[in-house]
Structure 1
Amino acid sequence: MEPFISVTDLTKIYHMGECEIRALAGVTLRVEKGEFLAIVGRSGSGKSTLMNIIGCLDTPSSGQYFLEGENVSGLSEKKLAQIRNRQIGFIFQSFNLIGGEDALENVELPLVYRGIPKTERRTLAQEALMQVGLGGRMHHRPAQMSGGQQQRVAIARAIAARPPIILADEPTGNLDSRSGGEVMEILHSLHRLGRTVVLITHDSRIAETADRVVRIQDGKIAGEEKRIDKRQILV
């Protein structure tokens, strides 16, 4: 059986004037369907660059990327956007919520771009907010919510369309330990429902709750550990 996500010998080179920055230097990685994978590395290690390529937000300089058996390495921006819209939910360190819209409207917005009818998208958005424990906060605006609640709105926005892949880039980075633990518990609940979760983090304690931990350094895979017993998430 083919891996759900497969990248082979990926490189990513950025040019700044005469300087060449090699963000990725021959990364090979497989992710199985339904796996919870953590990618760990320091700032500048290449972990976010790798996530951007897996999330079809960027393309590699060389190498191959297969998603569900389809080679997406050289697809047009339009086709990459279609894949992002259909298959991937993104969670970032910054919540990226619209201040003038309430939680329900923020979650609905990506569904508008998908062309989902109003009644259906309202239902999907409500279900997503209830799933992250914000059923009573649907009509609150971001300024009326804590940082942890805003991140849960961002998670609801990412999962409302029920994408099979969740990509989370430092989702607890702006949160206190309690709120961060709540966010991680939501990610694990999504994993238990069958979602494939790829978590990018610099925090080894958070990473160790995943099925597998891959460490990246200087744009290369520096090590890998498959977890058997997950540590209890502290909240």
Structure 2
Amino acid sequence: MKLISWNVNGIRACVRKGFLEYFKEVDADIFCVQETKLQAGQIELDLENYFQYWNYAVKKGYSGTAIFTKKKPLSVKYGIGIKNEEPEGRIITLEFAEFYLVNVYTPNAQRDLARLEFRLSWEDEVRNYLQELNKSKPVVLCGDLNVAHCEIDLKNARANRGNSGFTEEEREKMTALLEAGFVDTFRCLHPNKIDAYTWWSYMNKVRERNIGWRIDYFIVSGKLRGVIKEAHIHSHVMGSDHCPIVLELAL
């Protein structure tokens, strides 16, 4: 089973930059996107043989997630609360026979860390949600999690220490998730791989010089560790300030 996750930073713009060509080329079983930045009815994607699930933010042109899957899920949930909604459109959960798929766009703490407390509370809620799901069947979490977990996961760790996405608090929340029984699939297969990034600033020639951060992840329940086949970063794919990531599971 092949899964793709990509923060497209506005899917309408990404479509103009080759999204559909890449989508057809990779032929994923499940394709998750984050930061769609649109409302219902603003785009119509002709994705033959795929079911489409969209979670739109209330705020126009902001946030949003979507999942395109060849196999119809047993159930669909938007958000993590009792109500099947989430005002920023950041989470979609699909239930399949063998696992739950959770597509997430984690809130950014913002440059001045104004949203850090909200972000940390969010992390706790999501971790608790994932642990509850994991009690009934394994979980595959993917998306832009807006944190570089370890120093190996960004180019200039020393200069960025304490900045949004690399604060001790955010990194500790990722550690807590992994210690709760989950696995970072890329690091599981490539524990020492350097210069492996998924996001680059739009500043001049930053991407050309590969001055980036790894902030996009596939994280799975520990019980799925044995079926992780491949975990790749498609850094050659343009169209967004993020690139797609790939997970292959022997399911």
Q: TM-score, normalised by structure 2?
A: 0.31
Structure 1 or 2: larger helix share? 1
Higher relative contact order (CA closer than 8 Å, sequence separation 6+): 1
